[in-house]
């Protein structure tokens, strides 16, 4: 894939599909920690004139890009809330972020944790039974975040 600003390639480290995916759009995290909304449907580039070979080169299309959490390392987890379809969790090496994707004009996470010291994050997930709970595993244990309590 290509970065929308034309600055080079965009490799994907994690892909987040919906359980009942019926569209060609999905969320993905890049090799450098960016969060992107990708539309995988084939769109002919301007001036291609319907040339199928030329259109095949541009099969991927980044519709939205969040670069504010760019840390030049892949995210270690990319999860969707089981209770709220518009909440996405990205877990980075030393912090995690919660994104509300329905806020089109807002390009920052709605929550960013403080950086951890002495250990790094290894995974993370939303609780399957409680809407406001997030589990973050680290090299020295587990953190449980309860946003309702």
Q: What is the pLDDT of residues 26-82, one digit of tens each?
A: 999 888 888 888 888 766 666 555 555 544 444 467 888 876 555 668 889 999 999
Fold classification of 12-146 is: Methylamine Dehydrogenase; Chain H (2.130.10)
SS3 54: helix
Six-digit token string for 31: 């090799």
Six-digit token string for 135: 């589990």
Q: Which of 59, 58, 63, 57 is nearest to 25 (CA)?
A: 63
Six-digit token string for 120: 């790094």
C-alpha–C-alpha distance, residues 132 and 16, integer Å: 20
pTM of the model: 0.81
What residue has token string 């309702």? Answer: 148
Q: What pLDDT was estimated at residue 47? A: 59
Q: Domain map of the chain by residue range?
A: 12-146
Q: Please say whether the beta carbons of 34 and 5 come within 8 A.
A: no
Give the chain's radius of gyration (CA, Å): 17
Six-digit token string for 116: 């951890």
Q: What pLDDT was estimated at residue 54? A: 47
Provide the percentage of residues in the chain whose pLDDT is more than 90. Answer: 41
Average pLDDT over residues 143-148: 94
Q: What pLDDT was estimated at residue 10? A: 81
Six-digit token string for 74: 């892949």
């Amino acid at each position: 894939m290509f970065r929308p600003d034309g600055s080079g390639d965009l490799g994907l480290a994690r892909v987040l599909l919906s359980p009942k995916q019926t569209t060609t759009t999905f969320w993905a995290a890049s090799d450098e920690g960016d969060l992107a909304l990708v539309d995988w449907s084939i769109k002919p580039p301007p001036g291609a004139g319907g040339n199928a070979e030329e259109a095949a080169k541009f099969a991927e299309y980044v519709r939205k890009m969040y670069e504010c959490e760019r840390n030049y390392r892949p995210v270690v987890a990319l999860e969707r809330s089981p209770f709220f379809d518009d909440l996405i969790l990205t877990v980075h090496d030393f912090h995690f972020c919660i994104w509300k994707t329905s806020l089109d004009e807002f390009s920052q996470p709605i929550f960013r944790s403080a950086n951890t010291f002495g250990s790094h994050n290894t995974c993370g997930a939303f609780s399957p039974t409680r809407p406001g709970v997030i589990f973050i595993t680290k090299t020295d244990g587990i953190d449980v975040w309860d946003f309702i309590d």
